[in-house]
Structure 1
Amino acid sequence: MENIYDLVIIGGGPCGLASVVEAKVAGIKSVLLLEKGTNHSQTIRTFYKDNKRVDKEYKGLESQTKGRVKFETGTKEDVLNYFDSLLDSENIDAFFNTEVEKVIKNGDIFEIYTSNKIYKSKFAIIAIGRMGKPNKPSYKIPPSLNGIVNFNLDKCGNNERILVVGGGNSAVEYAISLSRTNTVTLSYRKMEFTRLNDINLKDIKYEEKYGNLILRLGTDVESLENEEGKILAKFKDGREFIYDRVIYAIGGSTPVEFLKNSNVEIDDKGVPIVDEYCQTKIKGLYIGGDLITRSGGSIVFALNHSNTIINHIVNK
């Protein structure tokens, strides 16, 4: 007989992992987790620097978890270890290196399309994050610079002249971390930071005051060019500087094409339209995590979404 899962969860971040736990404790027997990365929590692994503090309270938002999965402020490593233990504690099918192309409802059954197989399920949860598709600048990046234009810290070395572009917490943390072994400039298009937590705001002011990095506020990059294997960054104010590497930390965007291919309705901001149970207009298809929040990636929000979704599925 054809294998039809009770629930397929797409995305192995906080919402996806919590959904696994909530589902199993609630008695949902057949659960499948699909994650395109090599492991769970790819956003945290890729975009958070080592020992980064991961806050329970986020921008003054709700900080109390409602479900079976609890969460406390800790380091990146603490959070990953905790999620490891959650995944190991549950008897589920989990397939990594598996990217989902679309989710289509056929009658009462969802068909989850991957590059080499179609999985079937009675219910489906989309728990992918915005940072799976990092924002890129509006201007073209010359292909010859691809190796030295990055969107995380993976390829960074030492003794480089680095330009970090962005004004959020990740940009500031990248700049401060890299400044220990490199010459770093942080460029932000606004005249002041508006999205930083108190600690990062204090730290960046300290680092600039003591000359540990260069801070350029009110500056915006207009284009990048290859100049003898290095990056010539041209700014809108007419200034030009040479760098060994440029790192963009300008947020992430909703994977609009995936949502459209799955017939999920989105608003004019690219945010999926869901009801109070995180259910799309396609009955039985849910979305949780920062895809449906306008205020950013709160882990507590993601965990609570999973509790809301699973309770609704069980009640149905």
Structure 2
Amino acid sequence: MSHLYNLAIIGAGPAGIATAIESYMQGIRDIVLLEKDQNHNSTIRKYYKDNKRVDKDWKGQKVELDGRLFFVDGTKETTLDFFDQLLDRHSVELQTHVEVESIIKKEHYFEVNMAGKMIRAKNVVVTIGRMGKVNKPKYPIAPGIKNKIVYTLESCSEGEKILIVGGGDSAVEYAVDLSEKNDVAICYRRETFRRANPTNQTNIANAIIHKEVRPILGINIDGLEDVDGRVKVIYREIEPEIFDRVVFAIGGTTPSGFLSASGIEEIDGKPVHDENYETNIKGLFVAGDITQERGGSIALGLNHGYAIACYIQAIDK
């Protein structure tokens, strides 16, 4: 309890790892990464299918890397390998299966509170990604079908009739991927998949043309009912339909409750910060896609980590 870390980072995704490694390269020691899941980059592990392309720049947004981490386009597997190697090569402590409940500012340090334990740190960086809090539907879902409502492809089985809900890249990729061995429909409240990147727009268009994926576009869902353990989808505009499973791929949200409890101010759903990503609380920073309106590129997250590392190193001199 008496140990004082120089830097505690909440969330071991790209921005969190970049902050840790860039800080280490700046000469900062006593760094701890706190991750609630069993390994770093849980969003990539959970929500990206195997061999999924991972681009440095999100939706073509070109970002020049500022720091010392050279990240290039690759796949899910090469991206995880890249971050594995970074952590292996530098003395950064990674604690997994720890979920931070609150950050309390003291006079010269922060208390970072987790279930059953607490650590102290001079500086804290919050890099919780939006997918740390996935969007869930607000309409009624019958209790008996909760196990049929999922947010990744992990529990989907071959031969199921599956409805994908969403219109972004993940939804499109899920639909195309599952269509090889399943009867798949995709429901989106808009008429087109304009949120998806050009490659995915082409893939879903081809899948629809070849009748591999059935589109249900411009349609809203009002509820999910239980019909003998299967999911009856109640649409607002068309007749209901029964599926074996429903996969939601409707993105994530800023963890506003956690930010508010930590005293971090927000405007329009984004945490307030300055050019160094320091919030209204001195020594408490934010980085990664929670600083962006609709997520951000890995390159942006790496640059946030570099900027924070440079600033902390400068003020600690």
Q: Quick check: TM above 0.5?
A: yes
Shift of 1:288: 0.2
CA contact (8 A) 1:62 1:301 kept: no
Amino acid corresponding to residue 275 of structure 2 in structure 1: E
Amino acid corresponding to residue 298 of structure 1 in structure 2: S
Amino acid corresponding to residue 306 of structure 1 in structure 2: G
Q: Where does residue 62 of structure 2 map in the other structure?
A: 62
Matched, 1:137 2:134: no
| Alpha-carbon distance in 2 for matches of 1:168, 1:251 | 8
| Post-superposition CA distance 1:290-310 (Å, at most 9, x none) | 000114231111000000111
- The alignment partner of 2:275 has SS state of coil
Matched, 1:93 2:93: yes
Q: Where does residue 217 of structure 1 map in the other structure?
A: 217
Moved over 4 A (4+): none
- Superposed counterparts of 1:37-56, under 5 Å: 37-56=37-56
Gaps of 5+ in 2: none
Q: Where does residue 202 of structure 1 map in the other structure?
A: 202
| Alpha-carbon distance in 2 for matches of 1:35, 1:124 | 14
| Post-superposition CA distance 1:225-272 (Å, at most 9, x none) | 0011100001111311000000000010111111111111111x3211
| Alpha-carbon distance in 2 for matches of 1:117, 1:234 | 45
CA contact (8 A) 1:166 1:248 kept: yes
- The alignment partner of 1:122 has SS state of strand
| Post-superposition CA distance 1:29-68 (Å, at most 9, x none) | 1111110000000000001111100112222323221111
Percent pairwise identity: 42
Q: Where does residue 73 of structure 2 map in the other structure?
A: 73
Amino acid corresponding to residue 36 of structure 1 in structure 2: K
| Alpha-carbon distance in 1 for matches of 2:19, 2:232 | 46
| Alpha-carbon distance in 1 for matches of 2:149, 2:314 | 49
Report the number of matched residues.
315
| Alpha-carbon distance in 1 for matches of 2:62, 2:292 | 12
CA contact (8 A) 2:65 2:303 kept: yes
| Alpha-carbon distance in 2 for matches of 1:278, 1:90 | 24
Q: Where does residue 240 of structure 2 map in the other structure?
A: 240
- Superposed counterparts of 1:295-306, under 5 Å: 295-306=294-305
Gaps of 5+ in 1: none
Q: Where does residue 107 of structure 1 map in the other structure?
A: 107
Matched, 1:183 2:183: yes
CA contact (8 A) 2:140 2:222 kept: no
Q: Where does residue 230 of structure 2 map in the other structure?
A: 230
| Alpha-carbon distance in 1 for matches of 2:34, 2:130 | 17
Q: Where does residue 14 of structure 1 map in the other structure?
A: 14
- The alignment partner of 1:315 has SS state of helix
CA contact (8 A) 1:36 1:100 kept: yes
- The alignment partner of 1:167 has SS state of coil
- Superposed counterparts of 1:246-265, under 5 Å: 246-265=246-265
Q: Where does residue 307 of structure 2 map in the other structure?
A: 308
CA contact (8 A) 2:21 2:92 kept: no
| Alpha-carbon distance in 2 for matches of 1:22, 1:218 | 45
Amino acid corresponding to residue 15 of structure 1 in structure 2: A
- The alignment partner of 1:196 has SS state of coil
Amino acid corresponding to residue 282 of structure 1 in structure 2: I
- The alignment partner of 1:104 has SS state of strand
Amino acid corresponding to residue 44 of structure 1 in structure 2: I
Q: Where does residue 30 of structure 2 map in the other structure?
A: 30
Shift of 1:162: 0.2
Q: Where does residue 273 of structure 1 map in the other structure?
A: 272
| Alpha-carbon distance in 1 for matches of 2:178, 2:196 | 18
Amino acid corresponding to residue 218 of structure 2 in structure 1: G
Cα RMSD (Å): 1.0
| Alpha-carbon distance in 2 for matches of 1:141, 1:107 | 47
Amino acid corresponding to residue 278 of structure 2 in structure 1: Q
